[in-house]
Every structure is written in structure tokens, then in C-alpha cells.
């Protein structure tokens, strides 16, 4: 859907405050309309319930709700139950179980189990497995598959292995993606394989390049032909001096070279968020040219979170107008107390100044003296810096002079505990 394509291009939202008990904003509902050729009609809506004051989420972060209900609409008027989701969490607010249910409008007129995901974590609260099960229709969950995740020394995802349950006693390897990083922490390659007769066979590959600000410049996709890699498509991004993405070009490979397909243009920035996106499609007429196709108008709240998106189509005779298939989306938020800086065990860490400009100072006080590893990640989960801290050391000063302005997560993973905080870097 165009809506989903759009959301994948949005910048990371900026929170106003990062205090231990800072008020933040979480997604509570969303509604989507579609144009039927005459007017916009409500297509679907979702409401999220949170039973904890320390969990949130939005379009750019995992939604840690307790339950959510999705409704579809007939002719934009009659509301129909569609899907329901129930989630469970551990003491560290890690998602442990997610159940998906469908509405049975034929016989039971109730919510019926459909899918179940079970998640496990390591001592550093990093996801290590996800089991997928389906409901047998009467009384039991049947296991289908399992994803197993491995991380490198910098806590970056290194391997995602997909396994199928044999129906008896064990999992069988089905496919696997391996991720590779450069010395700056940028993911430069992901390579997929399928297991045939137990042996890995190449399938797909993506190669990435980045600029000096750690922004993705290109992503080149290819498929294995049995002897070498054949290019399939390529994405190319450009940025302004403030690291705002200005364009995203999609090209396909025709056997001899990359040919233009689609171009997204971003402009009128609200902070780092574009308030306008124009999508152009390549017209091969004559020597070829970019033809305006869609225009999105975007709005945000004070936290930089998307509040609305509306799409118009280009009519060559009258210009931008609403027509069949155009979309309109609204997103609603509520305030809450954000995740506390210190997890259930471990200790405390006072980090200053706020915001940090060139140096981040950390006063560390473990409940039990222990060695630890400092990991700083950006809001997309990419590790920016790691550092070992001896047990006897209770003060650390870290250079953030080369960090891009933004919000980062700081994890102190000790031998017997963990401390997690967020910091703001501003130059």
C-alpha cells in the first residue's frame, strides 16, 4: 500500500524530554480513509489500550500495547469487527507473547484465535527467538516455525535463521539471513540462503553504501543465479546539509543496466520530518521523463510524530486532485510516563550534560560492583559506539562529537544487571 511505503520513509521522531520520568507520547488510535471516486470513505481504524504507564510506541517504534482492536467499514459507514491483538510483557517490558484473533461473524460471533508469537530474550534484553504458532480451531496451539537471532560483539544483529517445525520433535533449518557491518557500525550487506537437503544455497543479497553521516546512500538488491549474483533493483538516496533525505530513487535492472522506475521527493521540513512528499513515475515516452503521480501532505505533533497523511493524484488535465484510490490517514496520541532509565535491577547512572554536545559524562553506581559494556545505539537500533568499563570504574566520559544530532539509547550491560537510558545529542 502507498500508505505503508510512505511510512517507511519517514524520519525518526524527536522526543521533547529525556528525564527519568519524562512525559512522552504514544499512539492510541489510527484511522484510514480511501477515496471511492466521489468522496473519502472510512476504510479501517484501530484503537490501542495500554495497561502500564511505562510502555508506549508509535509508527517508528514497536507498539507495546496490551490489546488492540481493528475495525473495517462497509461503504464507509457500518463498523465491522476485524482483528484483535493481545500482548504480554516481562518485568523489563520486553514483549513475550502476541496473540492475533479474527472476528467470527458466521457462527460464534466472537473473537477466535488465529496466530501466536512467543518471544525470548538474553540477559541483555535482546531478542533471541520468536516461535510462531497457529490455532487448531478447537483447543490447542500448533507450532509452525521459529526464528533464531544471533548478535555480534557490538550487539548488532548478525544472523536471522528461520526454522520449520517438523511436527514431531525438532526444528529444521529453512532459510537464513546474515548481516555484515563496517567498522563504523553501518550494515553494508545482508545475504540470504535457503537450506536444500540441509545445505545452504544462496538466494538474495543486498549491498548498502553510506555517507559520512551514516545515512544510507544506496541499497542494491540481487539474486543468485547458481553461479553469480544478478542485480534486480536499486534504491538511491540524497540528503541536504542537515541530513534530511531529499530524494529516494527506485530503479530496476533490465539485464544490462539500471532503469528508472519511481522517484520520491521530500520537502518543506518540520525539523527532520518532511511535510510534503511527491512521488513520480518514470514515463518512457520519447527519451523518458519523470511524471508527477502522487502528492502527500504530512503533519506532525510537537514530538515529531506523524498525525496525518493525505494523498492526491495528478490529473494531467487539471493537476492535483483527489480521485479513486487516494488515501487519508489520521493518527492519535496520548501522553504517558516513558520507560524508566533504570531497569528492575542493576544500579543507577547519571548522564550529563543535557543535551550532550561533545562529551557525555556518566556517573555509574552499580548495586553490586561489576564489569560492564557500554553500548550507544541510534533510534534505528544501529550501534554507534561500544566501550568496556572495569568493575572498579564509576565515572566514564564518552566523546559524542561525531554523533549526528538526535536521540540515542545508552545500555550498560553488566555481569549481573543492566541500565538503560536515553540521551539527546545536539551540536
pLDDT average, residue stretch 61-82: 91
Least confident window among 50-59, 79-88, 319-328, 418-427: 418-427
User: Strands, E, within 254-391: which ranges?
Assistant: 258-270, 273-283, 289-300, 306-315, 319-321, 327-337, 347-352, 359-366, 372-378, 383-389
Higher pLDDT, 136 or 23: 136
382-401: pLDDT as tens digits? 778 888 899 888 899 999 99
Sequence ranges of the domains in the chain: 2-332, 347-425
pLDDT at residue 132 tops 70: yes
Give the Cα separation of 61 and 84 in Å (integer): 20
Which letter does DSSP use for residue 16 in this model? S
CATH of domain 347-425: 2.60.40.3080
Quote the pLDDT of residue 320.
98
Give the Cα separation of 201 and 52 in Å (integer): 45
Distances (CA, A) of 364 to 25, 159, 367: 29, 32, 10
pLDDT at residue 353 tops 90: no
Give the Cα separation of 275 and 271 in Å (integer): 10
pLDDT average, residue stretch 245-264: 98
Q: Please tell me the pTM assigned to this model.
A: 0.74
Quote the pLDDT of residue 16.
25
Give the Cα separation of 354 and 13 in Å (integer): 18
Quote the pLDDT of residue 340.
40
Quote the pLDDT of residue 52.
83
Least confident window among 69-73, 193-197, 328-332, 351-355: 351-355
pLDDT at residue 63 tops 90: yes
Distance of CA 283 to the CA centre of its chain: 32
pLDDT average, residue stretch 354-378: 86
Quote the pLDDT of residue 165.
97
79-129: pLDDT as tens digits? 899 999 999 999 888 999 999 999 999 998 899 999 999 999 998 889 999
Quote the pLDDT of residue 347.
78
CATH topology match: 2-332 vs 347-425: no
Cell of 42: 472510512
Higher pLDDT, 277 or 345: 277
DSSP bridge partners of 239: 245
pLDDT average, residue stretch 192-206: 97
163-177: pLDDT as tens digits? 999 999 999 999 999
Chain mean pLDDT for the chain: 88
pLDDT at residue 361 tops 50: yes
Helix and strand numbers, DSSP H then E, in the chain: 1, 28
Least confident window among 353-367, 373-387, 400-414: 373-387
Higher pLDDT, 121 or 379: 121
Quote the pLDDT of residue 381.
65
pLDDT at residue 21 tops 60: no
Quote the pLDDT of residue 342.
38
Give the Cα separation of 252 and 232 in Å (integer): 6
pLDDT at residue 356 tops 70: yes
Pairing of strands 306-315, 273-283: unpaired
Give the Cα separation of 55 and 68 in Å (integer): 14
Give the Cα separation of 195 and 193 in Å (integer): 7
Distances (CA, A) of 15 to 30, 57, 408: 20, 12, 11
Pairing of strands 40-49, 187-196: unpaired
Buried b (16+ CB within 10 A) or exposed e, 5-29: ebeeebbebbbeebeeeeebbbbbe
The architecture (CATH level 2) of 2-332 comes to: Beta Barrel (2.40)
pLDDT at residue 153 tops 80: yes
227-250: pLDDT as tens digits? 999 999 999 999 999 999 999 999
CA atoms within 13 A on the CB side of 82: 15
Give the Cα separation of 71 and 298 in Å (integer): 24
Amino acid at each position: 500500500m502507498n500508505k505503508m511505503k510512505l511510512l517507511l520513509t519517514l524520519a525518526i521522531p524527536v522526543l521533547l524530554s529525556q528525564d527519568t520520568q519524562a512525559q512522552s507520547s504514544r499512539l492510541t488510535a489510527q484511522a484510514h480513509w480511501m477515496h471511492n471516486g466521489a468522496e473519502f470513505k472510512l476504510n479501517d481504524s484501530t484503537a490501542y489500550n495500554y495497561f502500564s504507564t511505562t510502555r508506549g510506541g508509535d509508527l517508528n517504534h514497536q507498539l507495546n500495547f496490551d490489546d488492540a482492536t481493528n475495525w473495517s467499514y462497509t461503504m464507509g459507514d457500518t463498523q465491522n469487527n476485524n482483528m484483535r491483538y493481545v500482548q504480554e510483557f516481562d518485568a523489563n517490558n520486553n514483549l513475550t507473547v502476541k496473540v492475533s484473533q479474527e472476528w467470527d461473524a458466521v457462527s460464534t460471533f466472537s473473537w477466535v484465535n488465529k496466530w501466536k508469537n512467543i518471544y525470548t530474550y538474553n540477559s541483555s534484553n535482546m531478542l533471541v527467538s520468536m516461535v510462531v504458532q497457529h490455532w487448531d480451531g478447537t483447543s490447542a496451539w500448533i507450532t509452525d516455525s521459529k526464528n533464531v537471532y544471533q548478535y555480534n560483539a557490538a550487539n548488532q544483529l548478525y544472523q536471522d535463521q528461520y526454522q520449520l517445525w517438523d511436527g514431531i520433535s525438532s526444528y529444521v533449518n529453512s532459510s537464513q539471513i546474515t548481516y555484515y557491518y563496517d567498522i563504523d557500525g553501518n550494515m553494508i550487506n545482508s545475504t540470504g540462503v535457503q537450506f536444500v537437503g540441509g545445505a545452504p544455497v544462496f538466494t538474495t543479497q543486498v549491498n548498502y553504501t553510506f555517507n559520512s553521516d551514516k545515512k544510507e546512500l544506496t541499497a542494491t538488491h540481487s539474486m543468485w543465479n547458481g553461479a553469480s549474483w544478478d542485480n534486480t533493483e536499486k534504491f538511491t538516496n540524497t540528503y541536504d546539509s542537515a541530513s534530511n533525505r531529499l530524494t529516494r530513487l527506485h530503479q530496476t535492472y533490465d539485464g544490462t543496466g539500471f532503469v528508472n522506475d519511481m522517484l520520491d521527493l521530500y520537502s518543506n521540513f518540520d525539523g527532520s520530518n518532511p511535510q510534503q512528499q511527491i512521488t513520480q513515475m518514470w514515463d518512457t515516452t520519447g527519451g523518458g521523463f519523470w511524471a508527477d503521480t502522487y502528492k502527500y501532505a504530512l503533519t506532525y505533533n510537537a514530538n515529531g510524530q506523524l498525525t496525518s497523511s493525505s494523498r492526491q493524484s495528478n490529473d494531467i488535465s487539471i493537476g492535483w486532485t483527489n480521485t479513486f484510490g487516494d488515501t487519508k490517514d489520521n493518527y492519535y496520541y496520548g501522553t504517558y510516563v516513558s520507560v524508566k532509565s533504570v531497569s528492575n535491577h542493576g544500579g543507577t547512572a547519571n548522564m550529563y550534560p543535557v543535551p550532550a554536545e561533545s562529551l557525555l559524562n556518566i556517573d555509574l553506581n552499580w548495586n553490586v560492583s561489576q564489569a560492564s559494556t557500554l553500548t550507544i545505539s541510534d533510534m534505528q537500533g544501529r550501534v554507534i559506539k561500544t566501550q568496556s568499563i572495569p568493575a572498579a570504574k564509576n565515572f566514564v566520559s564518552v566523546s559524542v562529537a561525531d554523533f549526528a544530532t538526535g536521540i540515542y539509547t545508552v545500555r550498560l550491560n553488566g555481569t549481573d544487571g543492566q541500565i538503560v537510558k536515553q540521551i539527546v545529542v545536539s551540536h
